[in-house]
Structure 1
Amino acid sequence: MRICIDARSLRDTPTALGRYARVLVEHIAKLDRENEYIIVRRPSSHGPIAQQANFREISLPHDISSVQNILWGARTINALKADIYHSLFHFLPTGVRAGSVVISLHDFIWVDHPALADGRRWRAMVKGSLGSLGIRRAIDHSDHIIAVSESTRQVATDAHGVASDKITTVYHGVAPEWRTGFEQPETPLPEALRDRRFIFSLGNSLPYKNLPRLLQAFAEIADSAPDLTLVFAGRGEGKQHLMQMARSLGVADRIHFAGQLSDGEIRACFQHALFFAFPSLIEGFGLPVLEAMASGCPVLTSNCSSLAEIAGEHAVLVDPQASASIAAGMQRLLTDPELRQQLAGRGQHRAANFTWQASAEQTLQVYHHLSTVT
């Protein structure tokens, strides 16, 4: 078979979507040396994802979710005459053709909750309309859908009418380097965090990440732990708003913005933090939760969407809509070192159930099934 995997969600800067694209392709390459693979990428300063003989890469300039790709991106894809075309993001070029078309469906945030996807109302309205249209088109024009969580699969079937036999759940995995005990050069903790007791938070500043409510919760428990710092890591578009809010809450000197960190620095933060706080309002999967667990870091996360599914009883679950609930969960973890130790161990066992090899094997099973029915 000739299989085209569209991995344009992979960027030079680290993101969860990019990690999914890169690591999934790497593991498919380890498992399949027979079928021909063409990997579509954006221009990159990094080398090929897979270098074996049955893999080659082509470069296309436009992002997979861009208007240019949706309107005109099919020409190059169609010329490949692929037996299977798999978009690792939930958008498709208009008129894309292959023996079978597959999309990876991550979430319905743009469809069901556009206001949570962008804090600027006009952008949320415009991008929400376009994003919703793009996702619905991709669902309608695909032959099979890979959902990254059971939560996403259920929303697709229950709320959006996707036939249950058209969609398969394939979980993300955790790479070995996130697991404690993995032999690798140790990355030092960012200098500004050495000698600090801190709670670690990671992610962009879009509304669904719920950072203002996390900050409010931190302010509610700050007096009980005067030496504690709340660390925000990730792209810093919302830094100014959060700092203004921190000043109004009287905790500006207790907040640290770490910026964009390397994977090694993130691992170091997981290993030194008191716990990882990830109270998103909605997630399609929540890979940082698993990576924190694998690193032996206790986790506080939300009791909804895929986060409750992935973390289960191996984390402190809170109501992300209520700062009081988040604050209570934080207080539990701060005052109970035995609980932190228990969650660190249980989280590692939980994370061990998620491997990228299993993700790749199950993705290949989808390809094989499609090859037998077309």
Structure 2
Amino acid sequence: MEIDYINGPRTDKIFGMSKYQMEIFKRIDGVEWNFIEYDSLLKIMESKYSSIFSSKPKNEEESLGMFPALDKTESFSQSKIFKGMIDTAWKTCMYIDTYRYRQTVKKSIKKDNVKHLTYQELAYLLKYVEMDKTIVTCHDIIPWAYDNDRSKLWKDIMTGLRNADRIITISEFSKNELVKYLNYPADRIHIVKDAVDHDVYYKKRDKTLLQRFNIPLEGKFVLYVGSETPRQNLDLLLKAFARLKKRVPDVKLLKIGDPQSFGAREKLLSMIRDLGLEKDVIFVGYVAEEDLPKWYNASDLLVYPCRYAGFGLPPLEAMACGTPVITANTTSLPEVVGDAGVMVDPDDDATLEDEMYKILTDESLREELMKKGLERVQLFQWDDAAKETLRVYEEVDSI
């Protein structure tokens, strides 16, 4: 059996969807692969002009939480005109990329192969390229279901998902969303859950990594791993953290991950200044896969207050490292955490503050959550995910 592995743009960063595909791919044996990828114009432009378009901190001081005062006058890079220009340029590159990739896929697929489109945004191809034996991995439909995105691209993506012979998704919640918004047959949706590599993510509690950032090892550390898009609900975390500081003065918040949303970093920095947390929030940026477990192990607590998640990998990775978890009680997150973590209303910063305080100050509670988390993560194995994916390949190959 040969798979047309329709994997989209090449990337050297590993997170979220790319991590999922990488972990499963390297564990599947007995198939041949026809990789169909391309060099994204959008990624090239973002890389070339990152100093202009990025919302990353401008210097080392900002990355350590020491922020300059806000200018009273709006800079051009923060203006609506500039943001409109960037939005137009981004959309232009995106549509050029989608057209280019359509042509690449048409030329590269093989008639008898199973075609695996490895994440949902590639589903638009099934509207424009004639294919059979098709599988789409759909982690979520957040833009459609949560952001109410009714752009042409997302209409094409939803049409393409309906055209797929099978859909792989990562949670019961995401499966239910696909049935709800697509009216797609539930028996053609296969759940292949996210997991962790237990040879990489394991308990090794050690804070010495923080010395690389000149961070004093004394005190407590709350960790957040993820983007800065509005649904991630960092507003709630910052409000709760500001209240927590009054009760636990030596606590710091570590923030890992790129913004992944234009203008998000500026809004976040502004809120940090307003709350007086300039010296207490530490921006780490993108962290390579091999270093990420060290940050989990160096932290006393992970908080993941996301309002809408197709799965929620950071809580799982944190539990694998023995780090207690607080997350939102919404969407897929209860499926991931079960009774091994603390779940809170994503609108209740007072309760979030109380739960953070309890975990940071109650050693027995922290040990209990650590034990439950380490047991819970054993249910999530990449080998199981690979076997289930192979079964879907074999099912579609027999169509």
For 1:26 and 1:234, the matched residues in 2 are separated by 25
- Determine if contact 2:169/2:192 at 8 Å carries over to the other structure: yes
Q: In structure 2, which of residues 195, 198, 205 is the aligned counterpart of residue 176 of structure 1?
A: 198
- Determine if contact 2:255/2:282 at 8 Å carries over to the other structure: yes
Aligned counterparts, 1:203-242, within 5 A: 203-236=226-259, 238-242=264-268
Tell me by how many angstroms 1:173 deviates.
Answer: 1.7
Letter in 2 for 1:207: P
Tell me by how many angstroms 1:63 deviates.
Answer: 8.0
Equivalent residue for 2:88? none
C-alpha distance 370-303 of structure 1, shift in aligned 2 (>3 A): same
- Determine if contact 2:327/2:343 at 8 Å carries over to the other structure: yes
Tell me by how many angstroms 1:172 deviates.
Answer: 1.4
For 1:109 and 1:141, the matched residues in 2 are separated by 19
Letter in 1 for 2:128: G
Q: In structure 1, which of residues 183, 190, 198 is the aligned counterpart of residue 221 of structure 2?
A: 198
Q: Tell me the percent identity.
A: 26
Letter in 1 for 2:36: V
Tell me by how many angstroms 1:3 deviates.
Answer: 1.2
Whether 2:209 is the aligned partner of 1:188: answer yes
Aligned counterparts, 1:343-362, within 5 A: 343-362=369-388
Q: In structure 1, which of residues 54, 66, 87 is the aligned counterpart of residue 117 of structure 2?
A: 87
Equivalent residue for 2:284? 258
For 2:147 and 2:237, the matched residues in 1 are separated by 21
Q: Secondary structure at the match of 1:285?
A: coil
For 2:174 and 2:245, the matched residues in 1 are separated by 35
Under a length normalisation based on structure 2, what TM-score does the superposition of the two structures give? 0.78
Tell me by how many angstroms 1:39 deviates.
Answer: 2.3
Letter in 1 for 2:307: L
Greater mean deviation of Cα atoms: 202-211 or 134-143: 134-143
Equivalent residue for 1:49? none
For 2:374 and 2:339, the matched residues in 1 are separated by 12
Tell me by how many angstroms 1:265 deviates.
Answer: 2.9
Moved over 4 A (4+): 62-66
Equivalent residue for 1:4? 4
Tell me by how many angstroms 1:9 deviates.
Answer: 6.2
- Determine if contact 2:309/2:333 at 8 Å carries over to the other structure: yes
Whether 2:71 is the aligned partner of 1:40: answer no
Residue by residue, what CA displacement relative to the aligned partner does 1:105-136 show, whole Å, maximum 9, x if unpaired? Answer: 11121101226xxxxxxxxx5xx524531331
Q: Secondary structure at the match of 1:304?
A: coil
Equivalent residue for 1:289? 315
Residue by residue, what CA displacement relative to the aligned partner does 1:279-304 show, whole Å, maximum 9, x if unpaired? Answer: 10111111111111111111111111
Structure 1 residues not aligned, in runs of 5+: 45-61, 116-124
Tell me by how many angstroms 1:261 deviates.
Answer: 1.6
Whether 2:105 is the aligned partner of 1:105: answer no
For 1:151 and 1:262, the matched residues in 2 are separated by 29
For 1:64 and 1:5, the matched residues in 2 are separated by 22
Q: Secondary structure at the match of 2:332?
A: helix
Tell me by how many angstroms 1:202 deviates.
Answer: 0.9
Tell me by how many angstroms 1:368 deviates.
Answer: 1.2
C-alpha distance 349-131 of structure 1, shift in aligned 2 (>3 A): farther
Residue by residue, what CA displacement relative to the aligned partner does 1:43-63 show, whole Å, maximum 9, x if unpaired? Answer: 59xxxxxxxxxxxxxxxxx98
- Determine if contact 1:221/1:331 at 8 Å carries over to the other structure: yes
C-alpha distance 360-262 of structure 1, shift in aligned 2 (>3 A): same
Letter in 1 for 2:8: R
Letter in 2 for 1:230: L
Tell me by how many angstroms 1:194 deviates.
Answer: 4.8
Equivalent residue for 2:89? none
Letter in 2 for 1:174: V
Greater mean deviation of Cα atoms: 194-203 or 164-173: 194-203
Equivalent residue for 1:320? 346
Structure 2 residues not aligned, in runs of 5+: 41-92
Q: Secondary structure at the match of 2:238?
A: helix
For 1:254 and 1:169, the matched residues in 2 are separated by 40
Aligned counterparts, 1:74-153, within 5 A: 74-78=105-109, 80-90=110-120, 91-92=122-123, 93=125, 94-114=127-147, 128-153=150-175
Under a length normalisation based on structure 1, what TM-score does the superposition of the two structures give? 0.83
C-alpha distance 134-325 of structure 1, shift in aligned 2 (>3 A): farther
Tell me by how many angstroms 1:342 deviates.
Answer: 1.2
The alignment yields a C-alpha RMSD, in angstroms, of 2.5
Equivalent residue for 2:186? 164
